């Protein structure tokens, strides 16, 4: 059977259309994927209630404390007070009062030491005051001696000229000698002042040290 050439013109557009569809499908881009999409992970949720747990340790052997405190009394006396919980193995916060020795004797010693220090300070102040008074007295006596010396020299001239008697000149000379002796006595006392001040300072230092020891002894009656 022979086909009519006019029929070929009918199948030709149909064939071209099929070819175009096949090419278009082959060249079409595929569906895009979201690279950032996260994969879901299955999760199991549990509700846990808080409870108190008391750990226990079971072992065998000798147990020793890491730190051991042994109190040594620095003062003698009767224990007047003791912490009710003080026993072997007990622990206390820092600064807790544990023991107290009867402090009466040490408090009395502290009062006596305080009185000795006050007395030494008073003696020291007296030496300082005496030194100031001596300085003023020496200044006055020195000026008086200068006046008495000038008066004596003037009377010597008067005696040589016969205006006063030898008896009057002797009396004026004796007054001059007394003035010199008075000044010399004041200077002697002033020369002794440095040693007296040194001794007074030493007594103050010794009394202060005694008071410091007495106060420490009072503090040592309490164990913390």
Q: What percent of the chain has pLDDT over 70?
A: 83
d(CA 210, CA 117): 8
Averaged pLDDT of the chain? 83
Side by side, which strands form the sheet with 222-223?
79-82, 99-101, 222-223
Q: Are 223 and 77 in contact (CB under 8 A)?
A: no
Q: What average pLDDT does the segment 52-57 reach? A: 82
Quote the DSSP letter at residue 222.
E
Phi, psi of 144 (to 5 degrees): -65, -40
- List the structure tokens of 171: 């009396």
pLDDT at 217: 94
Residue 33: pLDDT over 50: yes
- Better-predicted residue by pLDDT, 66 or 77: 77
Output the pTM of the full model: 0.59
Residue 1: pLDDT over 60: no
pLDDT at 44: 84
Q: What average pLDDT does the segment 82-103 reach? A: 90
pLDDT at 66: 78
Interval 15-31: pLDDT, tens = 666 666 776 666 655 55
How many Cα neighbours within 13 Å face the side chain of 10? 5
pLDDT at 169: 79
Q: What average pLDDT does the segment 98-122 reach? A: 95
């Amino acid at each position: 059977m022979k086909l009519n050439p006019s029929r070929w013109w009918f199948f030709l557009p149909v064939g071209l259309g099929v070819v175009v569809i096949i090419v278009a499908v082959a060249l079409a881009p595929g569906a895009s994927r979201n690279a950032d999409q996260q994969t879901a992970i299955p999760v199991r949720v549990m509700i846990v209630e808080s409870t108190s747990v008391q750990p226990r340790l079971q072992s065998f052997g000798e147990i020793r404390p890491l730190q051991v405190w042994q109190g040594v009394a620095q003062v003698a006396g009767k224990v007047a007070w003791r912490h009710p919980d003080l026993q072997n193995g007990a622990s206390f916060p820092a600064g807790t009062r544990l023991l107290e020795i009867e402090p009466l004797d040490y408090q009395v010693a502290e009062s006596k030491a305080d009185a000795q220090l006050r007395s030494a300070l008073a003696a020291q102040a007296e030496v300082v005051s005496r030194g100031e008074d001596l300085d003023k007295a020496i200044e006055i006596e020195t000026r008086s001696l200068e006046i008495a010396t000038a008066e004596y020299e003037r009377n010597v001239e008067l005696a040589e000229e016969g205006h006063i008697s030898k008896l009057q000149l002797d009396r004026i000379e004796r007054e001059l000698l007394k003035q010199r002796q008075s000044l010399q006595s004041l200077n002697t006392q002033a020369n002794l002042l440095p040693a007296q001040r040194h001794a007074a300072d030493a007594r103050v230092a010794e009394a202060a040290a005694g008071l410091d020891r007495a106060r420490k002894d009072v503090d040592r009656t309490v164990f913390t």
